[in-house]
Amino acid sequence: MKQALVYAALLLTLPFTLIAYAQDEDAFPVTIENCGFEATFHAPPESAITMNQGATEIMLALALEEHMTGTAYLDDAIRPEFEDAYETIPVLSDAYPSQEVLFGADPDFVYGSYSSAFGEAAAGPREQLAELGIGSYVSPMACADRSLRPEIVTMEDVFGEVRDIGAIFGVADRAEALVAELQAELDDISAVLADVEETASLFWFDSGGDDVYAGACCGAPGMIMDLRAVENIFEDAEGSWATVSWEEVVARDAAAIVIVNADWDTAESKIETLTTNPAYADMTAVQNENWVVIDFSYTTANIRNVEAVRIIAEFLYPALFAEIDAAETEQTESDD
């Protein structure tokens, strides 16, 4: 029986290296095209507000907390290495702040991970912000106009977002250092999995009632599952997530399950669904209690995705990573 109930927020497999670099004032003006908007920045924003956790953590990974006048809407706990910087930034709201609260913080830049950050109940339309002299950016994977989103999300899209924010704030060198760190981790994972011959089938269980919300081909879950040695059982389903029937889940019979934990739909409730309904008792993953739990913040396109790749790869192929960890420990001890 293999069962992982450790939440990804506690797994520090990829601590980001927080390195300070000088801002490049010669980089301005810089023009950024984002989700159909083109904006020119003549200097780094000085009072930015981040509206979602992914945006907040990209800013903090780039050591831009001194440029932040507010933040909002965490899905899970902030990453431990960002806690000290995060505590210096006013939290405007547990969810989206009202426009009254947001404008009261006098922002010159609003950054959201989802287009909903720019809804009428949040920051308001980006056109309205521009008229007020407030710059904005939304993750390209969440453009309000779906035709402008990548057809298939890749890590390069995440890296592109990091580079855009680096350019807007005049810290392109920090952005490139972060991208290089993330890419190196992905390369290391790929190297460990290079000789795996038998692919593990995986069911990405986001939520479920009468029907199931499953990780599909083309969003962050598909990207995370796009490992050398992993088969997404719903790779043929379009979109980031797909609504599928329990009959389909049972018929495709994954060897392992990724269970997403969220306050509004906990991992415990999903595990109870899997283990108490006789209809699912014959599923291979259920019989073997073969699942891993990760927090919601790892499942949408952001810099946590690389760690999610590592968590799932280690869960599926622990022996391979144990060999690597043992070798690294031995090397560290010999260096000492």
Asked whether residue 258 is assigned to any structural domain, the reply reads: yes
Total count of domains within the chain: 1
**Tell me, what CATH number does 322's domain have?**
3.40.50.1980
Q: What is the pTM of this model?
A: 0.89
- Residue 229: per-residue pLDDT: 86
What is the CA angle 10-13-18, rounded to 5? 100
Asked whether residue 90 is assigned to any structural domain, the reply reads: no
Distance of CA 149 to the CA centre of its chain: 16
Asked whether residue 191 is assigned to any structural domain, the reply reads: no
Asked whether residue 140 is assigned to any structural domain, the reply reads: no
Asked whether residue 51 is assigned to any structural domain, the reply reads: no
Asked whether residue 130 is assigned to any structural domain, the reply reads: no
Domain that holds residue 319: 3-9+196-328
Asked whether residue 324 is assigned to any structural domain, the reply reads: yes
- Residue 336: per-residue pLDDT: 59
**Rounded average pLDDT per 10-residue block, the chain, 336 residues:** 46 47 72 95 97 98 98 95 97 96 97 96 95 97 96 96 98 97 95 89 90 94 90 94 95 97 93 94 96 95 96 93 67 58
- Residue 326: per-residue pLDDT: 61
- Residue 6: per-residue pLDDT: 43
Asked whether residue 301 is assigned to any structural domain, the reply reads: yes
3-state helix/strand/coil string of the chain: CCEECCCHHHCCCCCCCCCCCCCCHHHCCEEEEECCEEEEECCCCCCEEECCHHHHHHHHHCCCHHHEEEEECCCCCCCHHHHHHHCCCCEEECCCCCHHHHHHCCCCEEEECCHHHHCCCCCCCHHHHHHCCCEEEECHHHCCCHHHCCCCCCHHHHHHHHHHHHHHCCCHHHHHHHHHHHHHHHHHHHHHHCCCCCCEEEEEEEEECCEEEEECCCCHHHHHHCCCCEEECCCCCCCCEEEEEHHHHHHHCCCEEEEEEECCECHHHHHHHHHHCHHHCCCHHHHCCCEEEEEHHHCCCCCCHHHHHHHHHHHHCHHHHHHHHHHHHHHHHHHC
Cβ atoms of 61 and 16 within 8 Å: the answer is: yes
